[in-house]
């Protein structure tokens, strides 16, 4: 097996181009090392362009090789994309968070991957570069081809970074999950919300839950019901009920029944909405 650590973008693209199908990108390796390894691995954990955390003209740029631990430690991310730092804080254990990356979390395509759910609620877009040099920007949901199956071929294309709009004033976000234990356990269900408030009413809402479908799942009906609603407990209760009606969940012998998961999604939806609304008011200085 060959293992190459790359430090700049040209190196990655030319390595992907020259090495063919048997080479694959690796970041933290926390998912990939559980699989049958390819002959050649291309380590992007030191790739400067994929390690950025910065705000540029109302946009947050968050590198795909940023680890969960680094995301949690970033005051800028905590201020601008709180749902993401909350999600990253709950991944695995300190060891897993020190190695595992945001890009790996999304490309691994587990249906309830914590950071992916938060990124989808934040409306993050993924920037990708093919070895030919072609670039494209896609929604998080477009990166999924099926359960545990990515639409991205990591032998040909690099997920470089995520782009999140950070210019909305009066917005807030939150993430919550429940797992069998507080660490080293995948979530039974998770939820994330991003919302914008004006005059104490909801103006825009993005609500994402998992595991429901292969990709993090937007609850469009519940979102539209919430627009224009006041920031009161009744709104969160109604949204919880609407979310339970909207989701079609599966039970699992290993995790929990479908009924319990549906109930849980309702509870988590109520929680993330209330917390995100509180944060939006604080951001506007109205709390």
Ligand X SMILES: Cc1cc2nc3c(=O)[nH]c(=O)nc-3n(C[C@H](O)[C@H](O)[C@H](O)COP(=O)(O)OP(=O)(O)OC[C@H]3O[C@@H](n4cnc5c(N)ncnc54)[C@H](O)[C@@H]3O)c2cc1C
By the criterion CB under 6 A, which residues form the site for ligand X?
24-32, 44, 50, 64, 91-92, 96, 99-101, 103-105, 107-108, 113-114, 152, 154, 158-159, 184, 186
- The helix or strand, by DSSP H or E, that contains position 210, with its residue range, turns out to be strand 201-210
**Rounded least distance, CB 120 to ligand X, Å:** 13
Q: Which is nearer to ligand X, 158 or 197 (CB)?
A: 158
Residue 205's CB: how many other CB atoms inside 10 A? 24
Q: Which is nearer to ligand X, 91 or 247 (CB)?
A: 91
- The helix or strand, by DSSP H or E, that contains position 179, with its residue range, turns out to be strand 171-179
Residue nearest to ligand X (CB): 104
* Secondary structure class of 245 (helix, strand, coil): helix
- Paired sense of beta strands 40-43 and 23-26, if any: parallel
- Paired sense of beta strands 40-43 and 2-5, if any: parallel
The residue length of the chain stands at 287
**Rounded least distance, CB 129 to ligand X, Å:** 9
Q: Which is nearer to ligand X, 64 or 219 (CB)?
A: 64
Q: Which is nearer to ligand X, 44 or 265 (CB)?
A: 44
**Rounded least distance, CB 146 to ligand X, Å:** 14
Q: Which is nearer to ligand X, 1 or 233 (CB)?
A: 1
Token pair for residue 120?
Answer: 């989808």
Token pair for residue 81?
Answer: 């994309």
**Rounded least distance, CB 24 to ligand X, Å:** 5
**Rounded least distance, CB 201 to ligand X, Å:** 33
Cα separation, 266 vs 244, whole angstroms: 5
Token pair for residue 254?
Answer: 């290993």
């Amino acid at each position: 097996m060959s293992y190459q650590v790359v430090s700049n973008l040209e190196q990655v693209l030319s390595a992907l181009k020259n090495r063919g199908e048997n080479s694959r990108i690796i970041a933290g390796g926390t998912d990939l090392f559980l699989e049958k390894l390819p002959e050649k691995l291309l380590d992007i954990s030191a790739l400067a362009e994929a390690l950025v955390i910065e705000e540029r003209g109302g946009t947050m740029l968050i590198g795909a090789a940023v680890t969960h631990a680094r995301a949690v430690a970033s005051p800028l991310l905590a201020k601008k994309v709180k749902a993401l730092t909350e999600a990253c804080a709950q991944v695995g254990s300190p060891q897993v968070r020190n190695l595992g990356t945001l890009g790996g979390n999304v490309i691994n395509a587990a249906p309830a991957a914590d950071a992916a759910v938060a990124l989808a609620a934040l409306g993050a877009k993924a920037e990708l570069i093919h070895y030919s040099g072609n670039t494209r920007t896609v929604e998080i949901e477009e990166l999924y081809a099926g359960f545990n199956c990515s639409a991205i071929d990591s032998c040909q294309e690099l997920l470089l970074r995520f782009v999140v709009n950070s210019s909305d004033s009066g917005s807030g976000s939150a993430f919550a999950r429940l797992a069998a234990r507080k660490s080293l356990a995948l979530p039974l269900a998770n939820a994330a919300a991003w919302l914008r408030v004006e005059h104490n009413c909801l103006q825009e809402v993005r609500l994402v839950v998992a595991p429901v479908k292969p990709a993090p799942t937007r609850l469009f009906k519940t979102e539209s019901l919430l627009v224009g609603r006041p920031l009161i407990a009744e709104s969160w209760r109604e949204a919880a009920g609407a979310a339970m009606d909207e989701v079609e969940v599966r039970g699992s012998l290993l995790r929990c029944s479908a009924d319990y998961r549906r109930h849980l999604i309702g509870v988590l939806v109520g929680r993330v909405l209330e917390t995100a609304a509180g944060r939006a008011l604080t951001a506007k200085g109205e709390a």
